[in-house]
Chains A and B, each alone.
Chain A
Amino acid sequence: MRRVLVAALLVATAAAVFASIGSGAPGGSSVTISNEQGTTWTCGFNPFNGSTQFLSAGTVYEELTFVNGLKSGSTTNWLASSYTWGKGNKTLTFTMRPGVKWSDGKPFSAADVLFTFDMLKKNPALDLNAAWSVLKSVRQQGSDKVVFSFKTSAVPYFYYIADQTPIVPQHIWASVKNPVTYKDPHPVGTGPYTMSACSPQVIKYAKNTSYWQKGLPKIDTVFYPAFTSNDPANQQLASGEAQWGSQFIPNIKAYYLSKNADNHYWFPPLVNVDVFFNLKDPVVSNIAVRKAIAYAIDRSKVSQIGEYGYEPPANQTGIVTPTFGSWLDTKAASTYGYNPAKAISILTKAGFKRSGNGTFTTPSGKPLALRIINIGGYSDWVASVQVIQNQLKAVGIQLTAENLSSTTYDTDLFNGKFQLAYSGNESGGPAPYYELRQILYSKNSAPIGQTAATNWERYSNKTTDALIEQYGATTSSAQQRAIVKKLEAVMVNEVPVIPVTESVDWYQYNTKSLGGWVTQGNPYAKPAAYEHPDWAVMLLHLRPAG
């Protein structure tokens, strides 16, 4: 018995000693990010590796021009001090900013930009945005200009070339043997931060003291811990240990807002989550069925029940509001308001028969029973589809949900092996055009059985394709808006997909020790920490509060 007591005493003493040693926080201002990525860090920072680029693009490696996706693509000159379109919008010339230095002290120049794009050409695996599918050539002009020549007019590609391609230093990358498998453990960039320490659990970024934007950044250190599951990440936010969140938090009022008066959140919508129809399917290729479903879904109910109201209801035009509200054809958007009676009458007019118990049969006499594929791991999507199921049942359409593992789901979705699919195009772009193009452009599709990039419903229409290509030839905002209006009409008249809710950027912030955050009133960048290069723009605006 005495031994047990001694052991207990020892344990208690040890615990007390450990508890008393607090972790000494370093001096200076800092911000800690809480963004569950479901992975520990590899400590690789290759900005052309799709799974690590968000850790270096923007903060370490910078872009030519910053494009604000929350302000319809308004631009801010960054590494380039200016740009001009020429030759029928087939050439794009950037002038480089003088006086910019890499973090190792060597000067940045137009040659680095040329080198970066040449590297993407030589290594298609690095060209994540397919810039070289439209580029013809890139060449240097004089000492400070780089000229991009395109195969066709390619105005929308400005976003991918200027904003989404981080520029790397030639004097370091030229000696990299294989840039595809290059890990880049000690990145040298022009950006406001340098990576100062990394372990699988946390990355520490330190201020670049010779940054070209004088006096910036104002925050000395950025901590980016790795979270493999959601709950610990949310707990860090609720406790205030992390100040910048990019998290889905269930019941955010009770769990986050009520914990501290300095806690705030804003979820700006960016792209739609849609019901995709397989247009090669004999039943849903009938437009009456698609229109009836569009009337039968109560989108605000799906948003409230399935998405906690975080992701607002969408509209049939495919324009995400309020983010792209200025592009919206309000009259077109108001069609397909929730109207089950209309859904029933459309089906009846199209020759579908309603039986005594209210269920429909197709004109050929089979029950109108549809199947929708969904990702079983996305609990919010599963809940949303359950709401849709009930709403369709109310008008007499039977819908069966197949909740699949994400690999099976992806295989079926990309290869067209589905009847209906609940899905979102998570990439989008800085204007509504990008998402509409992803959904409607026939070149983004593929025959059933082959991998389609984004046009999974297999929509194909020459007039629509022509409209999409015309947009690429104009920089005139009025013309662009006229074209998007016509694309909205396509979405409303042909119902190739039904936008149901609008997926958002997850963003929480704490104003106790830090100011300058993105707010709804001042949306100067996309606010989620996983948005690049936007997160660097946010870090440059942050400052110690008070």
Chain B
Amino acid sequence: MRFVVRRVAFFVATLWAAITINFLIPRLMPGNAAIAMLGRYRGRINPAALHALEIAFGINTHQGLVSAYFSYLGNIVRGRFGTSLTFFPDAVMHEVLQALPWTLGLVGLTTILAFIAGTLIGLISAWRRGGMLDGVLPPIFVITSAFPYFWLALLAIWLFAIKLGWLPENGGYDVKTNVAWSWTFIADVIRHSILPAATILATSVGGWILTMRNNTISVLAEDYVRMARAKGLSSWRIMWTYAGRNAILPNLTGFAMSLGFVVSGAILVEFVFNYPGVGWMFLQSVENQDYALMQGLFLMITVAVLVAILAADIATAILDPRTRDSR
């Protein structure tokens, strides 16, 4: 219990620091939103209209830093992140919530799949070193994970979408499909996610396999595994509860962090596949000096990563009794 309380207190302190840094960083960046606006319209807007827009946006209002900070804190508590300039006049929350399901669906699912697949392959190939599985899968995935993502993705598009025409090459769904909770639409969404998901998996499974395989091999040399064998436990049980449970510990924190980063999306994936997620939105907000959107996204990522780490800490405590007693 004390362990959990300490972790939660640490979590709150980190969160406060992150929120404050999140407030300061955009304000320390060069340039200003008004110029970014003018640039975006590129001579199509007159300066008087621009000035009026600045007032409407609430930029260049010369609000003091301290009072801005407190109104920012107050708004965060109430879940208000202001109006996005990129998607004017939409609220930041509205835009983020629209993009988030796509990112969670694609990147979240593939992250979990990659972890599960990588861990299983790593465990089994370490258990049966030199076996057929160990000889084929790890080398293949290590090679594919060494490819630059965009290159692999473009290759996949060229082969499966353009040459063979099996799968659509871009978007979250076909533009002519009606958006509804219908079987056709869901099937269309899945069809559109196969290529991006497959390419993410191909480039991310390798890392999990390697670490899991190496961890398992070093665990297998431990005395308690030898002891288990000596006791005559089934090799299935040794693999899962003795080797697997101990070997997975270092990977768990890594997995939690990558889960937290899921909400930041995958900029390259979304760019190459024209996928309507959060990553691309992030890039856009930085380019347009869209402080409100930037802050909303940063905060979401920070909170997600912190929560994931907290969860991983607690999970580790459950899996590994030693961490509970350590002071």
Contact = CB atoms under 8 A, between A and B. Distances in A.
A181 B273 CA distance: 32
A464 B271 CA distance: 48
Contacts of A13: none
A533 to B, nearest CB: 14
Interface in A179-208: 180-183, 197, 199-202
A23 B276 contact: no
Contacts of B32: 411
Which 8 A-B pairs give the minimum distances between C-beta atoms?
A125-B52, A232-B170, A130-B46, A410-B39, A407-B31, A202-B175, A23-B174, A124-B52
Contacts of A49: 88-89
Contacts, number: 166
Interface stretch (A35-43, A312-320, A324-332): A35-43
B289 interface: yes
B87 to A, nearest CB: 5
A454 B88 contact: no
Interface string A26-37: 100010100000
B188 interface: yes
7 contacts: A26-B176, A127-B48, A128-B46, A130-B49, A133-B48, A228-B271, A235-B170
B37 to A, nearest CB: 8
A123 B53 CA distance: 10
Given A19-B166, A23-B188, A407-B36, A39 B284 contact: yes
A44 B89 contact: yes
Nearest to B172: A201
Contacts of B273: 232
A508 B177 CA distance: 24
A126 interface: yes
B55 A133 contact: no
B171 interface: yes
Q: DSSP majority for the A interface?
A: loop
Contact of A21 (B40, B161, B169, B187): B187
B143 interface: no
Among B174, B178, B179, max chain A CB count under 10 A is at B174
A225 interface: yes
A128 B42 CA distance: 12
Contacts of B187: 17-18, 21
Contacts of B12: none
Interface string B152-182: 0000010001100011011111111111000
A201 B270 contact: no
B41 interface: yes
A228 B175 contact: no
A411 B42 contact: no
Contacts of B166: 19
Interface in A122-173: 123-130, 133
Contact of A128 (B44, B188, B287): B44
A202 B32 CA distance: 31
Contacts of B20: none
A420 B68 CA distance: 39
A407 B276 contact: no
Contacts of A202: 175
Interface in B71-100: 83, 86-90, 95, 98-99
B221 interface: no
